[in-house]
Structure 1
Amino acid sequence: MLDLYGVGAPEYAKEFAQFISSSPTSYHAVREIVSVLRTAGFREQDERSPWEGLDAGYVRRAGAVIAWQLPRKTEEITGFRIVGSHTDSPAFRLKPNPNSAAEGFSQANVEVYGGPLLNSWLNRDLGLAGVLVTEEGETRLVRTPPILTIPQTAPHLDRPANNTLPELSAQRDCHPIWALGREDVFDFLCARADLDPRKTVGFDIFTYDTQSPALFGGPAGTDFLSASRQDNLTSVFAALQAFVNLRAASPREDAPQCAGNDISVFAAFDHEEIGSASFSGAHGPFLRQVLKRISLSLGAHGDEQLVLLANSSCLSADAGHSVSPNKPHLHDPDHHPVLGAGPLLKINADQRYATESRGSALWHRACTLAGQRYQKFVSNNDVPCGSTIGPATARQLGIVTVDVGAPLLSMHSVREISSPADLLALAKILSAYYRGA
């Protein structure tokens, strides 16, 4: 657990970089999250067992995890304070028949997961990571060193490619090589996990960038953090630090002192990059089921559960777009959020982001309590925005939901760029929200 008001932005970024390096997939991220929760005193609740009514507990479901902690006492105005994020990022996923070969090369047979910036994945040192499942249902995490690359065609063979970005075919051009001759990548993965490939019948395996995160830029060399999977581990890590900081026995004097009587919830979902429609995604019933079981453990039934929800709110924390100095025309002329000027409040008239006026005021209070500035993001009318888990959460639960997040450059690239100052500011604001802003 980091002392959010005793750590500097570069130190925070270095801790975050270690989290990224340990979390090449959503499954690995959950392992890291659970490690932090356990150290902070949280206990695991098995969904398949009767609810124990833990004061500080968590449930994990594949690449997702939800944790909660109860206040010292509940009141009639008690609700849930939820920070939602997601653990997955764009990448390539191994197909069911993972082996292919051509021209003397063994290749990994992959498909696109989410919306990666395909050209950024060329000529990179890539590894494979994810989960293997045996016929008995045992799951085993696996991770390789650099074993893959997607080679780009030399300009001597494709002259136009030297002057323009390549127009890539996801099937033909994004087919990584991993060995000479004929080798079996699945057997290689099973050997890494000490499993018999004949008894390993399921897998979710993804490519990941093996290059370590880098802190660089400016006179001090700390203006920027370059790393993979910052969309959306920036939010996962910030929310986790804010959440476990609630358990600090005596917060620093300069930390937010407001303490409410709400139930604090940390929710990190999987599959946001592909629409969240899964048993571990925000469109599924995972969060709703956990909140209901918490409510029942507190003796709330029927209308009382609806009262709890009516008093609740959610910050949907997902990375947003900084303006690029090379493409400023792609942003709204009157909204140019930049790296280093604070996290984003994300607004969209079509509710692609769930923010509305009450939520905007809630975010403003949290920023004020934390002593942090923020920026407003709205899309250029000719450049439609994406979406987040925010609208899904608002629709599932019917609670005030606000879309926020740290600004990034090169989003969905294999290397995304953030400002350490924004990352720490986001964690402080989420801490203030949890503390009752």
Structure 2
Amino acid sequence: MSKNSRMTLLEWLDACPTPFHVAAQASSELTSAGFTSVTQLGYEIPQTGFLAVDGSIVAWRLGSSSSSLRIIGAHSDSPNLRVLPNADIYQHGWSQLAVEMYGGLLLNSWLDRDLGIAGRVIDANGKVHLFSDSTALARIPQLAIHLDRDVNEKGVQLDKHQHMTPVWGSETQKFSEWLTKTSGVDHIAAYDAHLFDITPAALLGHDKSLLASGRLDDQVSCWSAINALCDSASSEFTTMIVLNDHEEVGSSSSTGAAGPMLSSVIDCISQQHGLSTGQHFDRIASSWCLSADNAHAIHPNYPERHEPRHAPHINEGPAVKVNANQRYATSTRGLAHIQNVAKSNDIPLQVFASRNNIPCGSTIGPITATQLGIETIDVGVPQLSMHSAREMCGAHDPSYLVELMKAFLQS
């Protein structure tokens, strides 16, 4: 598959409203690039292959048995609202959906937006079917200013359970019946149904230098990782990517970064390469992992919230993220390595650190480093409005990230 025939980032973002769609789209891109899908690890692993499970995927290109690994990690999930199993609410002349919050949503950003519904259904035979409806189906209406006179002075005060329940009609409609019609599956045993902002991804600004979309965190990194692996030539290194689900809720799941998915594939590769336990340990000790998750760009309206010497600018390249308290995995060794990679390939690279009085978040980086014992470097595209229903980054930085990833895989 040629580079030009792959999905652009904007197309990817619109096609992937849930982690399940991310894994499916990644699988499609990899298959077109000549990678082989595997569903079990008990057989010989193909030279270029991938394993997709639910909303996660691991892909690889095997190198020399005597060489180390180069791994890129990202996460496929984003904060959102998810429809509960008993979804139907009818009250005060409104038809509503019972939802559960996933991750650290920026609540007010979900108000007064047209929302679609996407996800997967599992039929009575256990088969999985993806679905997506990007029409205007639901909305979380904000209280009018006449009924909330102090809202502009005190800010929007939202009860997470009472005030975030979306409306999706005025007539009675069972969600299960709608889902059967939408998915085309008659006997649905269970479902995952996620709400998402239906506004398409778009370039904006007088110079089209900005990119706005839902789920930039962290699908920018997912798209970049797939492109980097597909475009990279074979080398002595075994090159890999992993797109984990459930990062936004701690990564503790069978397909999250704290689970066994990546380590199981790595173990199988070492076994196929005929490595002893000690040789496997030596391989791990000489390997590198690049954990890609977006960073906070300096906000022009809130510059005081940033560490002034470590506040990345948009369209000036990805940022390597450092934190002495191990919220990010980057060590001085890792910082030196990725700076050398960027400098030798003429790729702009910035450094991000948080203020001491505003603690930073975390990534799959420290978890992956702990689980595998592989030296890990945290990087990310600078963005604004992280965890909003619609986020914004520089239009040029994703391409810089792809180039950095490609250079890292060969470093």
Alignment TM class, shorter chain as reference: over 0.9
Where do residues 58-73 of structure 1 align in structure 2 (5 Å cutoff)? 58-71=50-63, 73=64
Deviation string, structure 1 residues 52-78 (Cα, Å, up to 9, x no partner): 22100000110000000012x443xx1
Aligned counterparts of 1:195 and 1:260: Cα–Cα separation in 2: 45
SS of match in other structure, 1:352 = coil
Match of 1:234 among 207, 214, 220: 220
Partner of 1:115: 104
Partner of 2:296: 321
Kept in 1, the 8 Å contact 2:50–2:57? The answer is yes
Partner of 1:342: 317
CA RMSD, Structure 1 to Structure 2 (Å): 1.6
Aligned counterparts of 1:101 and 1:277: Cα–Cα separation in 2: 35
Q: Once the 2 structures are TM-superposed, how far is the Cα of residue 203 of structure 1 from its aligned partner?
A: 1.4
Q: Once the 2 structures are TM-superposed, how far is the Cα of residue 301 of structure 1 from its aligned partner?
A: 2.8
Aligned counterparts of 2:395 and 2:203: Cα–Cα separation in 1: 9
Partner of 1:124: 113
Match of 2:359 among 384, 388, 394: 384
Partner of 2:140: 150
SS of match in other structure, 2:405 = helix
Aligned counterparts of 1:53 and 1:29: Cα–Cα separation in 2: 23
Partner of 2:394: 419
Kept in 2, the 8 Å contact 1:225–1:420? The answer is yes
Aligned counterparts of 1:89 and 1:325: Cα–Cα separation in 2: 24
Kept in 2, the 8 Å contact 1:51–1:293? The answer is no
Partner of 1:105: 94
Kept in 1, the 8 Å contact 2:72–2:240? The answer is yes
Q: Does 1:21 align with 2:14?
A: yes
Q: Once the 2 structures are TM-superposed, how far is the Cα of residue 419 of structure 1 from its aligned partner?
A: 0.6
Aligned counterparts of 1:318 and 1:336: Cα–Cα separation in 2: 16
Partner of 1:50: 42
TM-score normalized by structure 1?
0.91
Partner of 2:189: 201
Aligned counterparts of 1:428 and 1:29: Cα–Cα separation in 2: 21
Deviation string, structure 1 residues 99-121 (Cα, Å, up to 9, x no partner): 11211111111011001111010
Q: Once the 2 structures are TM-superposed, how far is the Cα of residue 201 of structure 1 from its aligned partner?
A: 1.8
Q: Does 1:281 align with 2:256?
A: yes
Q: Once the 2 structures are TM-superposed, how far is the Cα of residue 260 of structure 1 from its aligned partner?
A: 4.5
SS of match in other structure, 1:146 = strand
Aligned counterparts of 2:139 and 2:149: Cα–Cα separation in 1: 22
Aligned counterparts of 2:354 and 2:43: Cα–Cα separation in 1: 44
Q: Once the 2 structures are TM-superposed, how far is the Cα of residue 293 of structure 1 from its aligned partner?
A: 0.8
Q: Does 1:140 align with 2:129?
A: yes
Kept in 2, the 8 Å contact 1:111–1:170? The answer is no
SS of match in other structure, 2:361 = coil
Kept in 1, the 8 Å contact 2:311–2:353? The answer is no
Kept in 1, the 8 Å contact 2:58–2:262? The answer is yes
Aligned counterparts of 1:370 and 1:381: Cα–Cα separation in 2: 33
Aligned counterparts of 2:150 and 2:355: Cα–Cα separation in 1: 31
1:229 alignment partner AA: R
Aligned counterparts of 1:128 and 1:350: Cα–Cα separation in 2: 39
Partner of 2:31: 38
5+ unaligned residues in a row in structure 2: which ranges? Answer: none
Q: How many residues align?
A: 410
Aligned counterparts of 2:90 and 2:155: Cα–Cα separation in 1: 27
Q: Does 1:245 align with 2:254?
A: no
Q: Does 1:353 align with 2:343?
A: no
Aligned counterparts of 2:287 and 2:43: Cα–Cα separation in 1: 22
Q: Does 1:168 align with 2:158?
A: yes
TM-score normalized by structure 2?
0.96
SS of match in other structure, 1:27 = helix
The percentage of counterpart residues that share the same residue type is: 36
Q: 1:329 to 1:162 in 2, by over 3 A?
A: closer
1:217 alignment partner AA: G
Q: Once the 2 structures are TM-superposed, how far is the Cα of residue 223 of structure 1 from its aligned partner?
A: 1.0
1:129 alignment partner AA: A
Q: Does 1:265 align with 2:240?
A: yes
Residues 343-352 or 356-365, more deviating = 356-365
Kept in 2, the 8 Å contact 1:216–1:223? The answer is yes
SS of match in other structure, 1:234 = helix
Partner of 2:204: 216
Match of 1:188 among 178, 185, 188: 178
2:209 alignment partner AA: D
Partner of 1:87: 76
Aligned counterparts of 2:219 and 2:341: Cα–Cα separation in 1: 21
Q: Once the 2 structures are TM-superposed, how far is the Cα of residue 386 of structure 1 from its aligned partner?
A: 0.5
